[in-house]
């Protein structure tokens, strides 16, 4: 009897579409907003996050698909979908997702907020006192900032800024010059708050709010004296926000990025959001102005800038409607006055936010003030505009230490902030470089060189997340502090490659993109495959934000067919289909989501008992393997390795309250205890108890 032929791993049916998988991730974010077990204000926050995610999805992913169609450049992925076919499915899914967002807001969250004495007061419900106050507010705070733009041959359609709040106004009558004008545009300045709290005692409760759009609707006619306003409708545009800088044709990347940033607000329009009561004639007019089709229009039953509701979480002081506050474990500097002495004794692992990011800041602060420290080198991808970390680097540079900083100017949506900090560092005397042309520097590295007696000793911090104190409070990440001579030597070589642009010499422990990370991952998957084929136990565990790279997926399929157990925790996009009979039976993929954004990248290979575990800045995506400078670093200490296995994998694979299991058809099923006897497990809650100071 002839054996079954090996499956064709190039079969598009074995791969999920990247854009559709990204929308599935945003659906899971929305499910957190729908979950009544989540505190009410946190549900509202998750709704806003899902809205902000959709903005970026259109600005980047949909914009790329549309640009491929415009340029007639068909980039077909492993899933086999053409840009046309992908865009059709994406549009259908996105419309359904947006409908769910507004249904949740209107039918669940607003009524639930009302029960908690948090009100959004509609225009139709304003009493005389409120009407008088809001009328005065319009005249005092809004009128001086608004510029109505009548549309006629001398006044063409204005440039509308990306994601700004705008109104299309229907008019009757003539202006001061006797001209008949039937349409005008009013743009709401970004400086204006989108939600206004009514004065104390004026609302049903002290948490009574009015939307800016409601105030503008009510008094917009004051901008058009002598004319009749017959309609006023919100709309909002989402534009292509990809930045296009031809690095081969420029001499100064900093100057080129500064010149490109303003264009982000005026890229090609990819989506029109408009109030659901807006007449079709007005919608058609807007579609014509921005060269859009019906599928690009999203009629919404509520504020078009949904993510601005995030302000409510800051304006309302109701701790009972939020997650219970947590305190991270104290920074190591609170117990060890000299971190360098501690790191000499042992490697230090920190797991944020359960353990304080202050440990990393203290490491950099102590290096900046320690007279024995001679040099500091660091990569910066995202840091925040007023970062304490940058202040420490500035202090070190002004103190005469050799400070070298690799600043990534092309960190999406942080370009402007990074240009600013690059200028600050240069002015303080630091050496600033912008990485390598054509390759974003995404590795998270800090190197400190310290004189100790007759020798120089290197200390390093390597991380899976950015050097950003703000996001470190809500993103989960691992960081390693070590003075292991081989690892610190490897980090030294990486910095020499980044700043001197010489060839990468052999690294003893680190894996680096774009040189050997991809091939090494492939080799280690193949090694597990060979172990399984020879009858040995074989296990691969991988944790990341996204799994897209088709060669790695095909290698995992081969490993599964050989009998390797593959356990994956992939927060966001996953193009691998688990559970396909004969192809991926042995692969499990789950996504864990909760109050913290899961962000670590961890790769584990059992290796016939000689287990290996790496933490990394890199997801398994083509850009991370081939178009970025990334680093994966091994955890050599056996105790720390076991700790990461437990914290990064075992708890998340046991989670049955905040985990979604990916099915072969691309759907995610939320996990829950099978019966009352099964103990509920939340990985994040367990880690708060295990590591936090609670």
Q: For 22-76, how does the pLDDT look when each residue is reduced to its tens digit (9 = 90+)?
A: 999 999 999 999 999 999 999 999 999 999 999 999 998 999 899 888 877 777 8
Binding site listing for ATP: 53, 475, 571, 599
CATH number at 513-691: 3.30.870.10
Query: In this predicted structure, what is the pLDDT of residue 314?
Result: 84
Query: In this predicted structure, what is the pLDDT of residue 4?
Result: 63
Flag whether pLDDT at 503 surpasses 90: no
Catalytic-residue membership of 531? no
Query: In this predicted structure, what is the pLDDT of residue 256?
Result: 40
Which structure tokens are listed for 469?
A: 């104190």
CA–CA dist 48, 447 (Å, integer): 38
**Least confident among 4-13, 268-277, 614-623, 660-669:** 4-13
Flag whether pLDDT at 342 surpasses 50: yes
| Distances from the Cα of 567 to the Cα of 11, 99, 531, angstroms | 22, 34, 17
| CB-CB contact of 453 with 641 (8 Å) | no
Flag whether pLDDT at 674 surpasses 70: yes
Flag whether pLDDT at 582 surpasses 60: yes
DSSP 8-state secondary structure symbol assigned to residue 57: I
CA–CA dist 148, 176 (Å, integer): 14
CA–CA dist 269, 291 (Å, integer): 8
Flag whether pLDDT at 501 surpasses 80: no
Q: How does the average pLDDT of the chain come out, rounded?
A: 90
Q: Which one is catalytic: 217, 352, 442, 652?
A: 442
For 349-378, the pLDDT digits (tens) are 999 999 999 999 999 999 999 999 999 999
| Overall average pLDDT of the 3-16 stretch | 86
Query: In this predicted structure, what is the pLDDT of residue 261?
Result: 43
CA–CA dist 502, 489 (Å, integer): 16
Nearest residue to 446 (alpha-carbon basis) of 411, 504, 384, 396? 396
**Least confident among 87-96, 289-298, 429-438, 613-622:** 429-438
**Domain residue limits, the chain:** 27-75+97-321, 332-509, 513-691
pTM (two decimals): 0.91
CATH number at 27-75+97-321: 3.30.1840.10
Binding site listing for Mg(2+): 382, 412
Flag whether pLDDT at 264 surpasses 60: no
**Residue-wise burial string across 265-275, b where 16 or more C-beta atoms lie within 10 A, e elsewhere:** eebebbbbbbb
Flag whether pLDDT at 412 surpasses 70: no
Max CA pair span of the chain: 92
Binding site listing: 53, 382, 412, 475, 571, 599
* Domain 332-509 top-level CATH class: alpha beta
Nearest residue to 63 (alpha-carbon basis) of 264, 306, 299? 264
> 513-691: same fold as 332-509?
yes
Cα angle value 297/302/304 (rounded, 5°): 50
Percent of the chain scoring above 90 in pLDDT: 72
């Amino acid at each position: 009897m002839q054996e079954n032929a090996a499956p064709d791993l190039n079969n598009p049916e074995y791969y999920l579409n990247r854009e559709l998988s990204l929308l599935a991730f945003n659906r899971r974010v929305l499910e957190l907003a729908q979950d009544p077990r989540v505190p009410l204000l946190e549900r509202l926050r998750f709704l806003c996050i899902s809205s902000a995610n959709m903005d970026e999805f259109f600005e980047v992913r949909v914009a790329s698909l549309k640009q491929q169609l415009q340029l007639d450049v068909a980039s077909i992925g492993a899933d086999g979908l053409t840009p046309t076919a992908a865009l059709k499915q994406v549009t259908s899914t996105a419309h359904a997702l947006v409908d769910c967002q507004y249904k949740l807001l209107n039918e669940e969250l607003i009524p639930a907020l009302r029960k908690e004495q948090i009100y959004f007061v509609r225009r139709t419900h304003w009493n005389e006192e409120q009407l008088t106050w809001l009328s005065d507010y319009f005249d005092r705070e809004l009128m001086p900032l608004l510029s109505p733009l009548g549309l006629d041959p001398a006044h063409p359609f204005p440039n509308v800024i990306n994601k700004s709040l705008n109104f299309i106004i229907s008019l009757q009558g003539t202006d001061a010059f006797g001209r008949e004008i039937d349409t005008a545009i009013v743009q709401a300045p970004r400086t204006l708050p989108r939600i206004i709290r009514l004065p104390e005692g004026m609302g049903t409760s002290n948490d009574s709010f009015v939307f800016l759009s409601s105030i503008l609707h009510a008094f917009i006619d004051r901008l058009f004296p002598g004319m009749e306003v017959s309609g006023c409708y919100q709309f909002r545009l989402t534009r292509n926000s990809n930045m296009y800088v031809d690095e081969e044709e420029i001499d100064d990347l900093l100057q080129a990025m500064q010149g490109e940033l303003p264009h982000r607000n005026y890229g090609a329009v990819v989506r029109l959001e408009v109030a659901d009561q807006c007449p079709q004639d007005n919608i058609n007019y807007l579609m014509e102005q921005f060269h859009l089709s019906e599928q690009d229009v999203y009629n919404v039953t509520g504020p078009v800038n949904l993510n601005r509701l995030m302000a409510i979480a800051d304006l309302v002081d109701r701790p009972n409607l939020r997650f219970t506050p947590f305190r991270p474990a104290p920074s190591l500097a609170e117990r060890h006055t000299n971190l360098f002495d501690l790191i000499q004794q042992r490697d230090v692992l920190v797991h944020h936010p359960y353990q304080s990011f202050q440990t990393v800041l203290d490491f950099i602060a102590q290096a900046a003030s320690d007279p024995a420290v001679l040099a500091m080198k660091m990569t910066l991808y995202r840091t925040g505009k007023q970062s304490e970390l940058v202040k420490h680097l500035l202090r070190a540079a002004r103190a005469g230490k050799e400070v070298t900083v690799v600043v990534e100017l092309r960190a999406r949506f942080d370009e402007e902030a990074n240009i600013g900090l690059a200028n600050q560092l240069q002015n303080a005397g630091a050496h600033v470089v912008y990485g390598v042309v054509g390759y974003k520097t995404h590795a998270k590295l800090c190197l400190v060189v310290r004189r100790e007696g007759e020798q120089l000793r290197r200390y390093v911090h390597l991380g899976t997340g950015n050097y950003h104190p703000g996001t470190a409070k809500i993103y989960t990440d691992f960081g390693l502090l070590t003075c292991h001579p081989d690892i610190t030597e490897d980090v030294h070589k990486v910095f020499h490659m980044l700043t001197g642009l010489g060839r990468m010499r052999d690294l003893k422990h680190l894996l680096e993109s774009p040189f050997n990370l991809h091939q090494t991952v492939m080799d280690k998957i193949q090694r597990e495959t060979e172990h399984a084929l020879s009858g040995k136990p074989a296990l691969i565990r991988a944790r990341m934000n996204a799994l897209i790279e088709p060669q790695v997926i095909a290698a995992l399929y081969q490993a599964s067919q050989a009998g390797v157990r593959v356990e994956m925790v992939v927060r966001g996009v996953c193009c691998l289909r688990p559970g396909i009979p004969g192809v991926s039976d042995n692969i499990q993929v789950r996504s864990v989501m909760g109050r913290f954004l899961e962000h670590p990248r961890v790769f584990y290979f059992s290796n016939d008992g000689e287990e290996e575990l790496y933490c990394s800045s890199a997801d398994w995506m083509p850009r991370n393997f081939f178009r970025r400078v990334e680093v994966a670093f091994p955890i050599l200490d056996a105790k720390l390795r076991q700790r990461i296995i437990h914290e990064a994998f075992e708890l998340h694979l046991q989670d049955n309250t905040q985990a979604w299991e990916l099915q072969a058809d691309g759907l995610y099923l939320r996990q829950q205890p099978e019966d009352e006897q099964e103990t509920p497990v939340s990985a994040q809650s367990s880690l708060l108890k295990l590591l936090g100071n609670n």
